[in-house]
Amino acid sequence: MTNIFYKRLFQVIIVALISSSIGFLMMHLLPGDIAMRIAAGRYGPDGLSAEIAQSVRVELGLNRPLYEQYFLSIFNFLKLDLGYSLVSGQSVIEELRVQLGYSLLLALSSFIVSLFIAIPLGIYTATTKNRFVNTIMMYLSIIIRAIPPFVLALILILIFSIWFNILPPAGFENWKYFVLPTLTLSLGLAAVSNRLINDSMNDVQNSSYFKYGRYKGLSQNITIRRHGIKNTLIPLVSFLALQSVYLIEGVVVVETIFAFPGIGHALVHAIVARDIPMIQGTILIMGLIFVFINVFVDILALYLDPRLKEKKDA
């Protein structure tokens, strides 16, 4: 366990350093004048002029040599001093705290809801003999996954906010406002994971240990509970760790559609405005989250499949 932790900690430092450096260099290498981009991000087209951009350049030290700016940025980054947003002037930590809080809540609720949809559905389609249900579920999953999140979001708003008028279409005041964004993300996730569970369950059902369970007289339900679910979850857990990438990608779109103050929305704006401290801070935090998810998955996999532990011990 400690090994896993140190290994992942080392990974996070390397990932953070490399991505921070790449983030810095990319922002400087992209075409366009960085001071003008930042000024446009701050003051908008109506408030932008070359003189104002020049003031921004002087204020932020963008006229200093690039290597000097780079080392200063990495030095501050290593001190975990994420600095201030070049656009809003707020502390990056504070902005991340608010925006990441909303995004994490959204991501977590989407994960949980997707599991509530996918696990029963996947197990049911794998164990039922009804081919019609199976085919319908397969096509439905393909269609939902193929629909881009922003279209799915608008469809859900139309159904729940306009036709039935039971949920607010956008905003972030209370739990009701989380339902539609969560549903948008979780439907996309569940569309894939229910198929994966279905395949995994089929494999488990064809395995000798499952068949043996049935031969020795256990009912279908008890065999599934005792021997099925745990074994089915092994590939699913690794898959869900990878799916967190989809979640981040989906969060950007969903936050924009639902006017949600999350990290995805903030990152897109930061990139457009070349807000380097915001980009570096977001990369660091996202990197940490990915590593955390992977550590969690490693631990969960060890619990679900004790053979891995034996392998490691050997």
Q: How far apart are CA 24 and CA 21, in angstroms?
A: 5
DSSP secondary structure letter of residue 172:
-
The angle at the Cα of 48, spanning 275 to 84, to the nearest 5 degrees, equals 25
Q: Taking contact as CB under 8 A, which single stretch among the options 115-123, 124-132, 141-149, 152-160 is the one that binds another protein? A: 152-160
Q: Tell which positions 181-240 bind another protein, by CB under 8 A.
A: none
CA–CA dist 157, 167 (Å, integer): 8
Considering the rule CB under 8 A, would residue 269 count as an interface residue with another protein? yes
Taking the C-alpha atoms of residue 43 and residue 60, their distance in angstroms, rounded to an integer, is 15
**CA dist., res. 310 & res. 298, Å (int):** 14
* Interface with another protein, residue 169, by CB under 8 A: yes
Query: What does the block give as tokens for 41?
Result: 């991000």
Residue 49, interface with another protein (CB under 8 A)?
Answer: yes
CB 34 within 8 A of CB 87: no
Under rule CB under 8 A, how many of the chain's residues touch another protein? 50
Q: Give me the 14-43 binding string for another protein, x by CB under 8 A, dash otherwise.
A: ------------------xx--xx-xxxxx
Could you say whether residue 175 binds another protein (CB under 8 A)? Answer: no
Instruction: Give the three-class secondary structure for 161.
Output: helix
Single-letter amino acid code for the residue at 55: S
Nearer to another protein, 40 or 284 (CB): 40
Q: Binding to another protein by residue 159, rule CB under 8 A?
A: no
By CB under 8 A, name the one of 17, 93, 170, 300 that touches another protein: 170
Closest distance of CB 89 from another protein, Å: 5
- Beta carbon of residue 272, minimum distance to another protein (angstroms, whole number): 7
- Of 278, 111, 130, 143, the closest CA to residue 198 belongs to 130
88 touching another protein, by CB under 8 A? yes
Binding status of residue 124 toward another protein by CB under 8 A? no
Determine the Cα–Cα distance for residues 268 and 273; give it in Å rounded to an integer.
Answer: 9
Return residues touching another protein (CB under 8 A): 32-33, 36-37, 39-53, 55-56, 85, 87-90, 95, 98, 154, 157-158, 161-162, 165, 168-173, 256-261, 265-266, 269, 272
